[in-house]
């Protein structure tokens, strides 16, 4: 697995490279008195417009985060750099993103560790990729395989906006996993495989070939049909341990004095996660001791279901890329015009 050239030594990746004053081209998060979040890209010629006045970006540029600024109408906003969880929900996107609650589960339950060798199939807009990159660090390796070149470009631009440069551990390849993986990695050399695709069961064999014994395979699927098909095919392959599946529901709480109660809204079902581990070559897993329910296993034809992939218009892709290019130009201008000695790490 190859990677991009190392990032500049004087600019740490991600949040560590964004310490110090807020600079042109940075994305910042404004929080209004009702707790609503607004993300803007700092541009010295721009203003943040509201129904109660406006705020010039110049009032924020060059100042530290954690300040409070007011619009011309007197409404105050808290200014902070976004966390990764905020960034992935507000960044330009071509495909739907993996929600932070699921990305956190994938990093934890697949045991993504610093220095790990990870393969990801299905990059989308790069939300999960950024969580994986932060987990493996610059000494790890992440090979991401995406079928659509336009999605891959959007994901790389989103990651570049977050890390400040191309991450040294990341390689993005456009193509099908079944064709890319056998030639991209040595057999048994991968620690973790993450599948975010419509039919992950089609890639069980190539994932098993790439994984080291004991390596973790984790799949992210949206429907119960996909969940059942993946689990049963993983069992039938006799290459993996008994799969475990779950979903995560996120419910916030309203906190105001003695009025402490669950929020009325929550982030409910977004997808199912399934984990299983690679058996040693030539070793089959022990037989299940429980008896399956009558009628639990349909005939092959009954598996068939239209899992239709949601299409994303070319117009939306062009708009997303245009916005990303503008943000990158602003960041480059901010770096070029920053006074000497005023680095983002100071």
- The answer to whether 112 and 192 are in contact (CB under 8 A) is yes
Per-residue pLDDT reduced to its tens digit, 278-312: 999 999 898 776 666 666 666 555 555 555 556 77
DSSP codes joined into one string, 4-33: PPPPPTTS-SGGGGG-SS--TT-EEEEE-T
- pLDDT score at 337: 64
Measured CA to CA, the distance from residue 191 to residue 216 in angstroms comes to 7
For residue 206, the number of C-alpha atoms closer than 13 Å in the C-beta half-sphere is 19
- The answer to whether 75 and 52 are in contact (CB under 8 A) is yes
- pLDDT score at 327: 84
Measured CA to CA, the distance from residue 17 to residue 30 in angstroms comes to 20
Per-residue pLDDT reduced to its tens digit, 112-156: 999 999 999 999 999 999 999 999 999 999 999 999 999 999 999
Count other C-beta atoms under 10 Å from residue 19's C-beta: 14
Measured CA to CA, the distance from residue 104 to residue 100 in angstroms comes to 6
- pLDDT score at 7: 39
- pLDDT score at 326: 83
List the alpha helices (DSSP H) in 123-176: 127-136, 149-163
Measured CA to CA, the distance from residue 180 to residue 62 in angstroms comes to 45
Measured CA to CA, the distance from residue 170 to residue 138 in angstroms comes to 9
Fold of 86-282: Rossmann fold (3.40.50)
List the alpha helices (DSSP H) in 17-145: 84-90, 100-109, 127-136
Pairing of strands 141-146, 170-174: parallel
Name the pLDDT band for 62 (thresholds 50, 70, 90): very high
Per-residue pLDDT reduced to its tens digit, 150-199: 999 999 999 998 998 999 999 999 999 999 999 999 999 999 999 999 99
């Amino acid at each position: 697995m190859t990677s991009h050239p190392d990032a500049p030594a004087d600019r740490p990746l991600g949040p560590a490279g964004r310490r110090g004053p807020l600079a042109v081209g940075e994305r910042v998060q404004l929080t209004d008195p009702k707790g609503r979040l607004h993300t803007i890209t700092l541009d010295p010629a721009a203003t943040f417009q509201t129904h109660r006045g406006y705020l010039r970006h110049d009032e924020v540029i060059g100042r530290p985060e954690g300040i409070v600024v007011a619009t011309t109408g007197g409404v105050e906003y808290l200014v902070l750099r976004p966390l990764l969880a905020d960034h992935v929900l507000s960044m330009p996107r071509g495909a739907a993103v993996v929600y932070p609650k699921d990305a956190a589960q994938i990093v934890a339950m697949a045991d993504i560790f610093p220095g790990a060798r990870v393969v990801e199939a299905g990059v989308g807009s790069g939300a999960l990729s950024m969580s994986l990159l932060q987990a493996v660090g610059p000494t790890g390796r992440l090979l991401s395989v995406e079928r659509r070149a336009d999605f891959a470009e959007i994901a790389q631009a989103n990651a570049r906006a977050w890390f400040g440069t191309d991450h040294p551990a990341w390689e993005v390849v456009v193509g099908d996993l079944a064709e890319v993986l056998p030639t991209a990695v040595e057999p048994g050399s991968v620690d973790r495989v993450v599948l975010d695709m419509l039919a992950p069961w089609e890639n069980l064999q190539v994932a098993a070939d790439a994984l080291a014994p004991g390596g973790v395979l984790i799949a992210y699927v949206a429907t119960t049909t996909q969940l059942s098909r993946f689990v049963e095919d993983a069992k039938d392959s006799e290459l993996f341990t008994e799969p475990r599946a779950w979903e995560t529901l996120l419910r916030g709480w309203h906190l105001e004095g003695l009025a402490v109660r669950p929020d009325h809204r929550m982030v409910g079902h977004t997808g199912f996660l399934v984990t299983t581990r690679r058996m040693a070559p030539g070793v089959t897993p022990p037989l299940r001791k429980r008896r399956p329910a009558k009628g639990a296993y349909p005939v092959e034809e009954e598996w068939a279901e239209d899992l239709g992939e949601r299409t994303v218009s070319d117009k939306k892709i062009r708009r997303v890329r245009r916005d990303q290019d503008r943000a990158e130009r602003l960041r480059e201008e901010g770096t070029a015009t920053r006074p000497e000695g005023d680095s983002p790490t100071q």
